[in-house]
A and B are shown apart, each in its own frame.
Chain A
Amino acid sequence: MALLEVNSLSVEFGDGPNPFRAVDQVSYSVEKGEVVGIVGESGSGKSVSSLSIMGLIEYPGHVKAEGLTFDGQDLLSMPVKKRRALTGADIAMIFQEPMSSLNPCYTVEFQITEALKIHQGGRKKWRRERAIELLEQVGIPDPKSRLKAYPHQLSGGMSQRVMIAMAIACDPKLLIADEPTTALDVTIQAQIVDLLLELQREKNMGLVLITNDLALVAEAADRVIVMYAGQVVETGPAEEIFSTPRHPYTQALLRSLPESSQGKERLEALPGVVPGAFDRPKGCMLAPRCPYASERCQREVPMVSGDSLRQVRCFTPLDLQGKPAA
């Protein structure tokens, strides 16, 4: 049984007859100790789908799903209190902007021990020692003196390390990292990713790595989920996705990497932007931007096809040569 099973998850914003679907019937699963990468452009619903797993979608957002199970428990039907007991303990999350994700009014110690206090209780002294241990684990030098620091005294990389310490405080089974390196310097990015992967192996956590950095995913993830305009367009083992993309969008993403444009004057790009609330196409979401789009793509919505290992949402998935199937 998978650690996390997401079955046909949708998140809609707004009331009325035409709410905006930020996440559209997304299904995937994460096994114990597995690293899953979710990639896609900004606005493709990566963050919103993971926030809904954490139960952090607020009104006017509505979360619907045929099934959302974590460790065999149905997250959507369980009482609110029980769900909160899981959130922050068994499922934890770190965010994109570490500097603004820490409360400026409280010390590092307060913010790390808070999760411990809520979920595990224990004596104050024990929590304090645990906080020092956690800071050590995330590679913060001289953790004891850092306990009394306020967020404004920390650098971006330090803040993200504190965020990670906070997230792993209760030994979660699943860690969701929402673009954990986007706001950081390039040199720090690598350190943070290494730290995350090291902790993941050590604790055998499931790790969902949300990012728009394809190189990072290629290096770190076991499996990759490609999202576009709120939908999953392709899933599969990381090597396969990168060597033989089957969805035109995945192909375009890979072609836009500098590595694939060597010797060319300009990087390749997919023209246009992700459709917003008011300009979503009728048929395939990618149709207006897809180089292979046929008339059928404009009219009909393609369904997901393929086996559980490799899935693609396209009428004419690409073959091994990167050409659309007839």
Chain B
Amino acid sequence: MFQFIFKKLMLVVPTFIGITLLTFTLIRLIPGDPIEVMAGERGVSPERHAQLRAELGLDQPLLIQYKDYVVNIFHGDLGKSLITKTPVMEEFASLFPATVELATCAALFAVLVGLPAGIIAAVKRGSIFDHSVMTFSLTGYSMPIFWWALLLMLVFSVNLGWTPVSGRLDVTYWIDEVTGFMLIDTLLSGEEGAFASALHHLVLPSIVLGTIPMAVIARMTRSSMLEVLSEDYIRTARSKGMAPLRVIVVHALRNALIPVITVIGLQVGILLSGAILTETIFAWPGIGKWLIESIARRDYPVVQGGIMMVATIIIVVNLIVDILYGVVNPRIRHNK
């Protein structure tokens, strides 16, 4: 097991090198630099421009800049935002809980809806339920997130007035930040109605962000389940005279989950990248919105550091999934 984790970790090294190279070059390929963006339409004199560039260290050759960046990473330093002058790590840490909260709720929505839908669709294959699940999930998968978000907003927030349009909490509440997770903080504050308000704000963004993962999970579960249900050991299970529900839950689902778990793990990447759009649309103060804004401001260290952190999280989650896979599937556990 130890060896297995070590091997996986070694594979991560080239990935990280790739990430630093890509973010470093791509952000610099966008025309304009941070100073021009800050100056805006007023413009800035060439002398002042050069002076500021030197102050920010942008006058150095690219290779030197890259070397400084990588060396700093090894010291655990992701640099400071060019605009706010606060360390990237600090900004990330303060915004990250909001994204985690949203992504977790979206993942819960995706699993809690997608998994049962896929199972029932497989067990009742060919039924109206099966066909509707497949149609909905195909639609959900192919629909652009921003359009789907606007559609839901229009119906549920504007026309029906069931949910708020944006933000994390009604402005009438002021909550001290303890954990950064609004659901927990509102509970801790003891303020009446605050928790309900936080929950209300979460519903639409979670559904929007969770739609694609839900569709993927539902389809994957269905096909995996169908395959398993035709296996010989399912016939053996039925020949023992157990109730159909036990056959499905104990004997089929456990086997069907093996590929589904991998897919759920892969969805974490989609959740974090999807968060960029969803957070922007719902004005959700998380990592996604932060990254988009820093790209617009050419805030090089924030973009580089932020993406590095997001990539780290995705890699860690996938590592956990790999380990989990071994827990569910004895054949893998024993081969290690």
Contact = CB atoms under 8 A, between A and B. Distances in A.
Nearest to A103: B233
Interface in A141-160: 150, 152-153
A119 B236 contact: no
* Main secondary structure on B side of the interface with A: helix
Contact of B239 (A56, A85, A103): A56
A284 interface: no
B231 interface: yes
Interface string B233-249: 10111111111001000
Given A95-B232, A100-B232, A150-B334, A105 B328 contact: yes
B40 interface: no
Which of B231, B239, B242 has most chain A Cβ within 10 Å?
B239
A195 interface: no
Interface string B322-336: 000000111100100
B242 A56 contact: no
Nearest to B254: A105
Interface residues of B, number: 21
B334 A101 contact: no
Sort chain A's interface into a size bin: 20 to 34
A86 B241 CA distance: 7
Contact of A163 (B236, B242, B254): B236
A322 B292 CA distance: 90
Contact of B235 (A86, A101, A115): A101
B241 A89 contact: yes
B233 A166 contact: no
B123 to A, nearest CB: 11
B334 A152 contact: yes
A114 B329 contact: no
A102 interface: yes
A56 B234 CA distance: 11
A32 interface: no
A88 interface: yes
A106 B116 CA distance: 22
Contact of A150 (B232, B240, B242, B331): B331
A87 B240 contact: yes
For B241, B243, B328, B329, the residue with the greatest tally of chain A CB atoms inside 10 Å of its CB is: B241
Contacts of B53: none
B200 interface: no
Contact of A104 (B233, B238, B239): B233
A95 B231 CA distance: 12
A229 B165 CA distance: 68
A97 interface: yes
A191 B11 CA distance: 49
A100 B233 contact: yes
A255 interface: no
Contacts of A119: 241
Contacts of A56: 235, 238-239
Interface string A158-182: 0000010010000000000000000
Contacts of A252: none
A310 interface: no
A114 B239 contact: no
Given A100-B232, A101-B235, A102-B233, A115 B254 contact: no
B241 A118 contact: yes
Nearest to A87: B241
A115 B236 contact: no
A305 B328 CA distance: 57
Contacts of B166: none
Given A84-B241, A85-B241, A152-B334, A101 B329 contact: no
B251 interface: yes
Contacts of A89: 241
A82 B233 CA distance: 23
Contacts of B243: 84
Contacts of A150: 330-331, 334
A11 interface: no
Given A150-B334, A152-B334, A101 B242 contact: no
Contacts of B242: 84, 88, 114, 118
Given A97-B232, A152-B330, A104 B255 contact: yes
Nearest to A88: B241
Interface in A68-117: 84-89, 92-93, 95, 97, 100-106, 114-115
Interface of A: 54, 56, 84-89, 92-93, 95, 97, 100-106, 114-115, 118-119, 150, 152-153, 163, 166
20 contacts: A56-B238, A84-B241, A85-B241, A86-B241, A87-B241, A88-B240, A88-B242, A92-B239, A95-B239, A101-B232, A102-B236, A103-B237, A105-B254, A105-B328, A105-B330, A118-B241, A119-B241, A150-B330, A152-B331, A163-B236
For the complex of A and B, the 5 pairs showing the least CB-CB separation, nearest first, are A88-B241, A87-B241, A88-B240, A100-B232, A103-B233
